[in-house]
Amino acid sequence: MSVVSSKTTTAAAAAPQFAPSRRALLLGAAGAGAVAALGSAEAYGAGGPGVTPPVLLTEQATRRLLVLDPRRRVWDPAADPSVVRWQFSPLKDPDYADLAPDVSWVYPSESKARRHRGRTYVLTTASFGFVAVVAHPSGERYWGTAIGPGDDLFNPHSAEILPDGNVAVACSTGAIVRLYAASQGPRATRYAEAALKGAHGLHWDGSRRVLWAIGDDELVAYEVGGTPARPALRRTSAIGLPVGTPGRTPGGHDLFPVARRPGRLWVTTNAAVFQYDTARRVFLRDFAGAELISRKSVKCVGDDPRTGQVVTASPESGLGETWWTTTVSVHRPESRFKLVDGGIYKARWWLPR
């Protein structure tokens, strides 16, 4: 076990001066000039039993988050804006100006809908440093920071909000998990930090009172200590991820609760999709539809507890980036959504929990 103490840092308001990485060079001037506006939207529900919920997208081509109408199988927001139920981008929003979104809101990498103290929030990260918890539907800032804005040397890849209002962030290139004292205000900077190679996904497990984190090689549980104002992380257990190819890293990626099976977590790696049984401490592929759901390079996975439908996304060739897709796959039964001219990274059911 390791104990990690709290420390204080300040979110930078401008890009640091260092040589850009390969991904920064790939972005180029065109990506840096892309603009997506924050759209106002009415609150909406996910429908009744048996009704497919809306879909929350992390959409990199237009640098925005989108909640899209599940009644349409082809989404073309440019031709038909009515397919968009809600959208978010911090660009040109003064509430996020201190996070330098022009350079930090590049390659949005996460979007999760969460309920906290009676309100709905969307947790989001971007590879070039942006991290925020955004109130839905207003888009107001609950909390935010920018970690190394302007490049992917840290690469925030996921976030999670804890019951006390603090926010955990997984940084893949930075190989760290941070727990920010976000409960102390929208610009709080104090955090606890723990090392985790290839940190990609996070989930707060309310029943076990631990923060799960997935990295390149292992699934780790952290105990949260300290106080809301001065949090601390303690690594309490870890289990190696299943190896897809001998001699190669498993490459853990997404981590999400299995809605229909409390006590299980969805886990994706470079090679496959699993469910992890937290009580038995085993990775399983005994779930319905595994033969189609489990495949290589799945970037996200989640299920609807009412219908049993599972949503996934994985890269397709011929797009602007090798990790993009225009297709959201639905399983049980099999179907798909298509985003015209899209650059989707992750897709999740709009089911705030």
Of the listed ranges 20-24, 53-57, 251-255, the one predicted with least confidence: 20-24
Per-residue pLDDT band at 45 (split at 50, 70, 90): low
Which residue segments constitute the domains of the chain, with CATH numbers given?
A: 2-349 (2.120.10.30)
Q: Considering the entire predicted model, what is its pTM?
A: 0.88
Q: What is the predicted pLDDT for the residue at 49?
A: 63
Quick one: which of 174, 175, 98, 159 has its CA closest to 126?
159
Q: What is the predicted pLDDT for the residue at 244?
A: 83
**Nearest-angstrom CA–CA distance, 118 and 161:** 13
| Tens-place pLDDT, residues 164-198 | 999 999 999 999 999 999 999 999 999 999 999 99
CA–CA–CA angle 150, 315, 178 (5° rounding): 40
Q: What is the predicted pLDDT for the residue at 188?
A: 99
User: How does the average pLDDT of the chain come out, rounded?
Assistant: 90
Q: List Cα–Cα distances, 6 to 9, 180, 199, 203, in angstroms.
A: 10, 9, 19, 20
CB 145 within 8 A of CB 159: no
| Tens-place pLDDT, residues 252-295 | 999 999 999 999 999 999 999 999 999 999 999 999 999 999 99
CB 345 within 8 A of CB 327: no
Using CA of residue 169, residue 160, residue 218, residue 256, what is the dihedral sign? negative
pLDDT surpasses 80 at 221: yes
**Nearest-angstrom CA–CA distance, 29 and 41:** 31
Q: What is the predicted pLDDT for the residue at 25?
A: 38
β-strands 176-180, 167-171: how paired?
A: antiparallel
Over residues 24-33, the mean pLDDT reads: 36
Q: What is the predicted pLDDT for the residue at 185?
A: 99
* CA 261 and chain centroid, separation: 21
Per-residue pLDDT band at 241 (split at 50, 70, 90): very high
Over residues 231-256, the mean pLDDT reads: 95
DSSP string covering 226-266, please? E-SSSEEEEEEEEEEPPPSSTTS------EEE-TTSTTEEE
Q: What is the predicted pLDDT for the residue at 246?
A: 86
Highest mean pLDDT range out of 32-41, 245-254, 314-323? 314-323
- Which two structure tokens, joined as six digits, stand for 219? 């699934």
Q: What is the predicted pLDDT for the residue at 247?
A: 83
pLDDT surpasses 80 at 111: yes
Over residues 210-227, the mean pLDDT reads: 99
Q: What is the predicted pLDDT for the residue at 5?
A: 35
What is the amino acid identity at position 352?
A: P
Instruction: Let me know how long the chain is.
Output: 353
Q: What is the predicted pLDDT for the residue at 176?
A: 99
| Tens-place pLDDT, residues 1-13 | 433 333 333 333 3
pLDDT surpasses 70 at 308: yes
Quick one: which of 326, 332, 349 has its CA closest to 77?
326
CB 170 within 8 A of CB 156: yes
pLDDT surpasses 60 at 30: no
CB 199 within 8 A of CB 170: yes
CB 93 within 8 A of CB 72: no
Q: What is the predicted pLDDT for the residue at 245?
A: 80
pLDDT surpasses 50 at 36: no
> Whole-angstrom distance between the N-terminal and C-terminal Cα of the chain?
30
Quick one: which of 264, 265, 217 has its CA closest to 244?
217
Of the listed ranges 43-52, 89-98, 144-153, 241-250, the one predicted with least confidence: 43-52
Quick one: which of 61, 68, 69, 144 has its CA closest to 100?
144
- Proportion of the chain above pLDDT 90, given as a percent: 84
